[in-house]
Amino acid sequence: MPTEAPAPPPLTATHCPYCSLQCGMGLRAASGAPGGLEVVPRDFPVNRGALCGKGSSAPALLDPRLRLTEPLIRSAATGRLEPATWDAALALVAARLGAVGEEHGPDAVGVFGGGGLTNEKAYALGKFARVVLKTSTIDYNGRFCMSSAAAAHQRAFGVDRGLPFPLQDVARTGCVILAGSNLAETMPPAVRHLRELRENGGKLIVVDPRRTRTAEQADLHLAPRPGTDLALALGLLHLVVAQGRTDEAFIARRTTGWEAARTAVMAHWPELVEKITGVPVPQLRAAVGLFCDAPDGMVLTARGAEQHATGTDTVGAWINFCLATGRAGRPLSGYGCLTGQGNGQGGREHGQKADQLPGYRKLTDPRARAHVAGVWGVPADSLPGPGPSAYELLDALGGEVRALLVMGSNPVISAPRAAHIEGRLRALDFLAVADVVLSETAELADVVLPVTQWAEETGTMTNLEGRVLLRRAALAPPDGVRGDLSVLNSLAKLLSCEETARKFPADPETVFQELRRASAGGAADYAGISYRRIEAEDGVFWPCPDEDHPGTPRLFLERFATDDGRARFVEVTHRGPEEEPDAEYPLVLTTGRVLAQYQSGAQTRRVPELDAATPGAFVELHPLLAGRIGVADGDAVTVTSRRGHATAPARVTAAIRSDTVFMPFHWPGEGRANNLTNPALDPVSKMPEFKACAVRVERAGPAA
């Protein structure tokens, strides 16, 4: 008799732990596999079964040998982090945060969150800061990621959601301008949507100072000098106006503010824009032709366009371009931001941002405060006001801010002017870090709390499309590891009382139920979204105000989210980067990511196959520049800015402008690119200018 094959182990449908694409994947137990889990392709609209190497290797980090499995306390005797019990670690965190708050006031205790935290954790962290610590000093690393796009979205459309349409719409539009995104390295599965766009006859224009793998696939590649994206967008709009290709009916019916924006744009004539950006006038004309000849079109920006001291205005200029051409508020057209971190979107909707309350409510709005305070069971006037932005907060460490709780962030690598920020962290009276691994920031801590990750915990994420997703736990965490929600519950009890602790349940679904109530009526309304619905529908788009509401995949088709329902043009004019090249620092440095690494690299640098693929930093420079300074491929070069220096091997390539050098920012030590970057802040979004600073480059030695 044939024997029946044993049933395969159960499959957990979930999503990748890394970027905001949040690719769908399945996980199932597999003995001998890294981390004890096998990744199985799963059909999900953004990735349709495809994963990049980061996603497919993600279980490796579940290996207890690669991650933290016990709390650590810095020993007064040895100065080293030593294993400790949870009771001792939590008691010390509570005692020191409490003491600093007592002595210096509540705002002297800071909280720094992360764009990888689930919605439940981001919500609970913001509530913990305001209800337990009573501090206004809370922000998160998402401020470094897409805050300029968020601010510009708010200004023009009255609401901020990365993409106002599902990603699949990209394949069906007529023309896409991709400004400052290297999707082929940052989100490879998303490239299939661009490929399908072109197969369908659509056009792709890529704006990037480097001829990246993404730019290679474009119909037209514009390579502006870093820091001149704003002039480029204004120059294109100038041509649209000059050629009479504005959509006057759309402008009259759906927008306000066009006259002032149009007047401002007329100062940006093509020859001037060519001089500023280095993009030849015929290429500017070709871009306008491709975009306006198509029946519909989209502009998608990412960090390349946004991480500037002019980031909000740059995105504003691209939105003006969409509005003036009538490419907004209708199917297959619009402006969108390709958000970066896994939950960069949800992280800023639910309260860990310095100025926001859950549901994308403003902390300065009395009605918003009353609503959220009611859900939290505290008086509205007990809630602190808005606090400093991420860089301002980090810069104040050791000064006005004396103690810090970090959850899921590694600013020692990811903050601009990183050596200075590392110094500020060292100057704190007390630093506690909750993380999965001993990151470079955790290495500086007085107490390190080992917490659960991704496949070990359940929680929701909101991807770049505004689609709320559920990650289910696929396996139990190692002994000695606790969830962030459990940590907040324990700290609430120690810092306050049992009753306060009950406001911080450790069960994620209970937290989500409360989040739904807190967000109800807000711009990012999750009231109708439940775990059950997310699983049944494989994600629900916000806003979704009640359980009968289908969710909102496409925003703005009827009206924009402003008071009068019209999109607002914004009057913007060009300003260059804060630092222009000069005799001492004659080049521009721009920074970014590589395929095999993710953000500060705290996770991906520990995964053997990702580390092997790209084990360290490098400096990309053009052959003309390399020849001028006597550098051969592989030679060590030192890049110096007004803030510091970094040394890494040279990669000589014609794919970059000869006045520009590029460094990825994932590594510590000599190759830490953020030693160099400029913390000049955008006045609206407080986004630092990661993407352009003046540097010089010198040969430091022969190839290793």
Exposed (0-12), middle (13-18) or buried (19+): which is 612, by Cβ within 10 Å?
Answer: exposed
Residues in contact with ligand SF4, total (CB under 6 A)? 14
Alpha helices in 266-406 (DSSP H): 270-277, 281-293, 303-306, 311-324, 344-349, 366-376, 390-395
Binding mask 109-148 for ligand SF4 (x = CB under 6 A): ----------------------------------------
- Give the shortest CB-39-to-ligand SF4 separation in angstroms: 9
Say whether residue 183 binds ligand SF4 (CB under 6 A): no
- Give the shortest CB-613-to-ligand SF4 separation in angstroms: 13
The amino acid sitting at 621 is: L
| Of residues 115 and 226, the one with the C-beta less far from ligand SF4 | 115
CB 208 within 8 A of CB 73: no
The amino acid sitting at 184 is: A
- Give the shortest CB-126-to-ligand SF4 separation in angstroms: 25
Token duo for residue 336:
């969108």
Which window, 18-26, 331-339, 377-385, 627-635, contacts ligand SF4 (CB under 6 A)? 18-26
- Give the shortest CB-598-to-ligand SF4 separation in angstroms: 6
Token duo for residue 373:
């305070």
Compute CA distances 9 → 27, 31, 37, 536, whole Å.
10, 11, 11, 21
| Of residues 21 and 363, the one with the C-beta less far from ligand SF4 | 21
Say whether residue 42 binds ligand SF4 (CB under 6 A): no
Which window, 50-58, 211-219, 513-521, 584-592, contacts ligand SF4 (CB under 6 A)? 50-58
Residue 118 sits at φ, ψ, to 5 deg, of -65, 165
The dihedral sign for the CA sequence 24, 29, 30, 31: positive
291-350: contacts with ligand SF4 (CB under 6 A): none
| Of residues 15 and 686, the one with the C-beta less far from ligand SF4 | 15
- Give the shortest CB-368-to-ligand SF4 separation in angstroms: 32
Say whether residue 55 binds ligand SF4 (CB under 6 A): yes
Say whether residue 471 binds ligand SF4 (CB under 6 A): no
| Of residues 19 and 621, the one with the C-beta less far from ligand SF4 | 19
Say whether residue 22 binds ligand SF4 (CB under 6 A): yes
How many angstroms separate the CA atoms of 402 and 117, rounded? 24
How many angstroms separate the CA atoms of 203 and 213, rounded? 16
Compute CA distances 158 → 45, 146, 153, 361, 376, whole Å.
27, 16, 7, 12, 26
CB 346 within 8 A of CB 460: yes
The 10 Å Cβ neighbour count of residue 309 is: 27
| Of residues 19 and 305, the one with the C-beta less far from ligand SF4 | 19
Exposed (0-12), middle (13-18) or buried (19+): which is 610, by Cβ within 10 Å?
Answer: buried
| Of residues 471 and 691, the one with the C-beta less far from ligand SF4 | 471
Pick from 27, 37, 39, 52 the residue near ligand SF4 by CB under 6 A.
52
Say whether residue 167 binds ligand SF4 (CB under 6 A): no
Say whether residue 356 binds ligand SF4 (CB under 6 A): no
How many CA atoms lie within 13 Å of 698's alpha carbon, on the beta-carbon side?
8
187-216: contacts with ligand SF4 (CB under 6 A): 187-189
Which window, 52-60, 113-121, 153-161, 443-451, contacts ligand SF4 (CB under 6 A)? 52-60
Judged by the rule CB under 6 A, the positions of this chain that interact with ligand SF4 are: 16, 18-19, 21-23, 47, 51-52, 54-55, 187-189
